[in-house]
């Protein structure tokens, strides 16, 4: 047994204390005036049945007591409630190549991507999520889980220095992403590829097409601008930018065409993370409207609210106290 509002015990205890004080004083002050003669006292109270009056007061007291108990919100027993969790399996493949440090999307491509993915994870309800990181090679960074807080922690630690092999191997990322799914059914699986689209291998479209044939969906998200940006290099003394072998500054540009082709081949959609759009909302909308399977069904117990019982008892006691007559059946009036 438990109470929803246990702090009301203080008010209930205070009421009982005041009632006890009042009852004690009322017994001592039964005579209205000190020195009242026996004859006058008998004349005044001859029409009252003192026993009924006492019970009438008791019924009102008990009624208030049960009303206070109802206010406490008693919860008795348990209730078994079946819960069905429906969702899809989502794998985010996040590009961590140095080109993602470009600042054409503020504060940087990698920071913007992490922010939007974080928004998506916060809005998930029952979906399982995994994370792939890739550059010149790819790795399963977070296996499939429904622990969204853990997913947020893993996401926050991602940066462009975590994979030493540089490049942008989209095909390798897709292959690793496909292997991240643990269930046999392919129908409820979505791979979301988040990158600036610089494919250094060229096999991504074929892999996406094969995945779609099994029932999976491949979504792509472009991060960056068409005009491009220089790639900053960390330097404590001055701001430097990445150069090619000849010493020429490298400009990285968003390759939307390859990402759109991958999304089309994967029977998904192409989105873009930019400075002036709420792309995460569009992706969340697409995920919410997908067909979802029952991921798990379980039961849990909780207390059942039972305030109705003391409330009903309180009303009955108040009614009895109200209708109970206090007039004596045989009045003996003394002259």
Angstrom distance (rounded) from CA 94 to CA 128: 17
As a 3-state breakdown, the chain gives helix, strand, coil percent values, each rounded to 5, of 40, 25, 35
pLDDT at res. 188? 76
User: 327: Cβ–Cβ under 8 A, 6 or more apart, which residues?
Assistant: 47, 48, 49
pLDDT at 230: 84
Q: Please choose, from the candidates 171, 282, 262, 273, the residue with its C-alpha nearest in 3D space to the C-alpha of residue 219.
A: 262
Q: Which residues contact 253 (CB under 8 A, 6 or more apart)?
A: 196, 224, 225, 226, 227, 228
Give the Cβ contact number of residue 63 at 10 Å: 20
Q: How many CB atoms lie within 10 A of CB 147?
A: 12
In this structure, what token pair is assigned to residue 312? 């009903």
How many other CB atoms are there within 10 angstroms of residue 52's CB atom? Answer: 15
Residues 258, 255: Cα–Cα separation, whole Å: 6
- CA 24, 30, 32, 37 torsion-angle sign: negative
**What is the pLDDT at residue 295?**
58
Structure tokens at 99: 């080109």
Other beta carbons within 10 angstroms of residue 286's beta carbon come to 16
pLDDT for the residue numbered 249: 84
CA distance linking residue 89 with residue 91, whole number of Å = 7
Query: Residue 230 corresponds to which tokens in the numbers above?
Result: 């220089």
User: pLDDT tens digits for 25-77?
Assistant: 655 555 445 555 666 666 666 666 667 777 887 788 788 788 877 877 777 76
Domain-by-domain residue ranges, the chain?
2-73+306-323, 85-296
Measured CA distances, 302 to 9, 37, 71, 86, 298 (Å):
22, 63, 19, 22, 13
Q: Identify the CATH assignment for 85-296 out of 3.40.50.20, 3.40.50.410, 3.40.50.300, 3.40.50.11740.
A: 3.40.50.410
CA 265 to chain centre: 35
Give pLDDT, residue 334. Answer: 45
Which residue bears the tokens 């430097």? 240
φ/ψ region of 261 (left if φ > 0, alpha if ψ in -120 to 50, else beta) reads alpha
pLDDT of 38: 64
pLDDT of residue 171: 85
- By CB atoms closer than 10 A (0-12, 13-18, 19+), residue 155 is buried
Residue stretches of the chain with pLDDT short of 50: 31-32, 332-335
CA–CA separation, 229 and 248 (whole Å)? 14
* Residue pair 130/143 in contact by the 8 Å Cβ criterion: yes
pLDDT at residue 48, as a whole number: 66
Sheet-wide strand order for 2-3: 2-3, 74-87, 293-305
Strands (DSSP E) found in 109-170: 128-134, 138-145
Angle at 212 between CA 211 and CA 215, to 5 degrees: 100
| Of 117, 133, 124, 120, residue with least CA distance to 180 | 133
Quote the pLDDT of residue 71: 78
pTM over 0.75? The answer is no
- The 10 Å CB-count burial string (b at 16+, else e) for 216-253 is bbbbbbbbbbeebbbbeeeeeeeeeebeeeeeeeeebb
């Amino acid at each position: 047994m438990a109470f929803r509002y246990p702090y009301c015990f203080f008010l209930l205890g205070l009421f009982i204390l005041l009632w006890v004080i009042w009852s004690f004083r009322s017994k001592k002050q039964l005579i209205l005036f000190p020195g009242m003669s026996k004859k006058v006292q008998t004349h005044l109270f001859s029409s009252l049945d003192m026993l009924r009056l006492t019970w009438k007061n008791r019924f009102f007291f008990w009624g208030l007591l049960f009303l206070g108990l109802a206010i406490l919100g008693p919860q008795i027993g348990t209730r078994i409630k079946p819960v069905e969790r429906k969702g899809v399996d989502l794998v985010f493949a996040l590009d961590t190549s140095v080109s993602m440090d470009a600042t054409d999307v503020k504060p940087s491509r990698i920071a913007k991507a992490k922010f939007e993915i974080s928004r998506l994870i916060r809005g998930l309800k029952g979906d399982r999520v995994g994370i792939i990181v890739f550059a010149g090679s790819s790795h399963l960074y977070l296996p499939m889980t429904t622990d969204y807080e853990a997913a947020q922690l893993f996401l926050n630690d991602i940066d462009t220095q975590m994979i030493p092999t540089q490049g942008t191997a989209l095909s390798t990322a897709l292959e690793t992403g496909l292997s991240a799914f643990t269930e046999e059914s392919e129908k409820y699986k979505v791979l979301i590829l988040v990158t600036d689209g610089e494919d250094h291998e060229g096999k991504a479209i074929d892999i996406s097409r094969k995945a779609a044939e099994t029932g999976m969906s491949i979504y792509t998200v472009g991060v960056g601008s068409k005009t491009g940006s220089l790639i900053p290099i960390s330097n404590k003394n001055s701001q430097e930018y990445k150069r090619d072998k000849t010493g020429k500054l490298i400009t990285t540009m968003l390759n939307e065409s390859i990402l759109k082709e991958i999304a089309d081949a994967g029977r998904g959609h192409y989105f873009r993370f930019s400075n002036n759009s709420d792309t995460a909302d569009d992706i969340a909308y697409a995920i919410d409207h997908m067909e979802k399977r029952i991921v798990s069904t379980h039961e849990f117990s909780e207390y059942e609210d039972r305030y109705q019982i003391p409330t009903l008892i309180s009303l009955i006691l108040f009614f009895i106290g109200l209708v109970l007559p206090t007039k004596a059946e045989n009045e003996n009036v003394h002259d």
